[in-house]
Amino acid sequence: MPIFEYQCRHCGHRFEQLVLPKSPAAECPACGKSDLEQMISLVSVSSEQTRKANLAAAKKRGAAIQKERAHEEHKALHAHYDEH
Ligand SMILES: [Zn+2]
């Protein structure tokens, strides 16, 4: 869905608004004027996607580390028993 970021030329308020083809012209929620400058919205969308991708990657890494740790503990357990 297209979310556009606007900056109000009247009061400088910045806000994001979902814009549908049938949406009326966006208005500043702070002052109600429709004298808006449209910012580049793709930046916030792509950074959100990047953040989610990073989070997923971090989770994967964490799971891999835990698996490895469990494996090491298992090995240590065996080593312990093998000694006796
Ligand atoms: Zn405004």
Alpha-carbon span 23 to 44, nearest angstrom: 21
10 CA → ligand 1 middle, Å = 5
Burial status of residue 8 (CB atoms within 10 A of its CB: 0-12, 13-18, 19 or more): buried
pTM of the predicted protein model:
0.45
Write out pLDDT tens, residues 19-60. 888 878 889 999 999 999 988 755 555 667 777 878 888 888
Number of domains in the chain: 1
Token pair 């028993």 is at which residue? 81
17 CA → ligand 1 middle, Å = 14
15 CA → ligand 1 middle, Å = 10
Range of the domain at 63: 3-83
Question: pLDDT at position 43, please?
Answer: 52
